Amino acid sequence: MRCDVNLEVLNRSNDPRGPLITVVGASGFIGSALVAELARTPVRLRAVARRETPVPAAPRAAVEVRRADLARPEEVGAAVEGADAVVHLAAHIGGARSWRAADERSQRVNVGLLHDVVEALRDRTGLAPAVILASTLQAGAEVARQGAYARQKSAAEEVLLRAASEKVVRGVVLRLPTVYGRSPLTGWAGRGVVASVAGQAVAGEPVTMWHDGTVGRDLLHVEDAARAFAAALGHVERLDGGTWSVGTGRAEPLGEVFSAIAGLVAEKTGRPPVPVVSSEPPDHAEAGDFESVAGAPSAFRAVTGWSPLVPLRAGLGGVVEAQVAAGARGGIRT
């Protein structure tokens, strides 16, 4: 993974140390991958998260790690103080069921935090700072068909785009598909469907689907997602005020993906592949769980030159390796 974009365009104050980029949610799945990406560049990088954020050895960037609970509004201003750009990756997502349910904390983190970021930046003079929001492809869908998390992402998009229209910030929304892979700094495979299925297969459990396997998902590797955010930072002027779909543009049939994961686990462990079977969907299943989804990244690609680089099988192999290693340590983190 290599960041080749020119981030000096963000340098509002012409600071000789480079622009200051704040990553909110820096210890998370995508956040840690973005920290690894930006650490290769001549910028000042402020990594903000509730947990300690790992940093690459000998980074080119001047990295500041800041632990903060940004659910507390008074900590937000300090986190973004002096920032030329803010990448908002913080999200409140629980387990397989709880990410679908709205509660006070999820509303606070997924919507209220962005509002606080915008307000903290409102009185800046000169060139407006850039704010890039990680959203979901589903956030642009019909509201009635969305789950709670996607509805909150839609609300966050509205907050940012309104601020961009008021020239408070230069706002960019990146709508991401299913992000998978192994984060380069933490080795974590995330909480998504790919990691969950790999964990089941490593545990020797049958892999279950709520459909016949033809439902497709656009699977974007976490390192490619990080590169997309870096590319967006380097092209803020042309992306400002817009929502941009990021992905591979392909909907991979999940039955084939799950079978490939089962096969990779078998290769790694020497055991026979676990079966991939269909099952009745649970009560908390949503209409979107049975619809194929693919991004349409051509517009974003035309502006930034970004394109995904990690082949699917290689990315799946990394997830399997991470889950096998986690299983050997006595616990698969999902």
The answer to the question of residue 168 being in a domain is yes
**pLDDT the model gives residue 95:** 47
Distance of CA 5 to the CA centre of its chain: 19
State the Cα–Cα distance between residues 109 and 114, nearest whole angstrom: 8
Residue 158 lies in a domain: yes
Task: Please tell me which residue, 88 or 108, carries the higher pLDDT value.
Answer: 88
Rounded to an integer, the average pLDDT of 235-261 is 97
Query: Which whole number is the average pLDDT over 253-266?
Result: 98
CATH number of the domain encompassing residue 87:
3.40.50.720
DSSP-assigned states of every residue in 52-93: PPP--SS-SSEEEEEE--TTSGGGHHHHHTT-SEEEE-----
Tokens 């699977």: give the residue.
Answer: 219
Contacts for 66-73 with beta carbons within 8 Å, 24 or more apart? Answer: 70/24, 70/109, 70/113, 70/116, 71/105, 71/108, 71/109, 71/113, 73/112, 73/116
- Residues 159-217: tens digit of each pLDDT: 999 999 999 999 999 999 999 999 999 999 998 999 999 999 999 999 999 888 899 99
Q: Is the pLDDT score of 112 beyond 90? A: no
62 found inside a domain:
yes
pLDDT of residue 97: 46
Mean predicted confidence (pLDDT) in 64-80 = 90
Please check whether residue 276 lies inside any domain of the structure.
Answer: no
pLDDT band at 137 (very low <50, low <70, confident <90, very high): confident
Q: What's the CA gap between 14 and 226, in Å, rounded? A: 25
Read off the pLDDT band of 258 (50, 70, 90): very high
Which residue type sits at 26? Answer: A
Is residue 146 over pLDDT 80? no
Q: Is 3 among the domain residues?
A: no
Q: Which residue has tokens 């981030």?
A: 7
Residue 88: pLDDT above 80? yes
Q: Which domain holds residue 26?
A: 8-183+220-249+295-309
For residue 1, being part of any structural domain is answered with: no
Which residue would you say has higher pLDDT here, 278 or 149? 278
Q: What is the pLDDT of residue 320?
A: 98
Write the pLDDT tens digit of every residue in 280-329. Answer: 888 777 777 778 888 899 999 999 999 999 999 999 999 999 999 998 77
| Residue 332 burial by Cβ neighbours in a 10 Å radius (0-12, 13-18, 19+) | buried
At residue 286, the pLDDT reads 75
Are residues 165 and 234 in contact, defined by beta-carbon separation less than 8 angstroms?
A: no
Q: Is residue 164 part of a domain?
A: yes
Q: Residue 5 — pLDDT band, cuts 50, 70, 90?
A: confident
Total tally of structural domains belonging to the chain:
1
- Measured CA to CA, the distance from residue 313 to residue 305 in angstroms comes to 23
Q: Examine the pLDDT at 96 and tell me if it is beyond 60.
A: no
CA distance 139 to 30: 18
Pairing of strands 20-24, 44-49: parallel
pTM of the model: 0.92
DSSP three-state, residue 46: strand
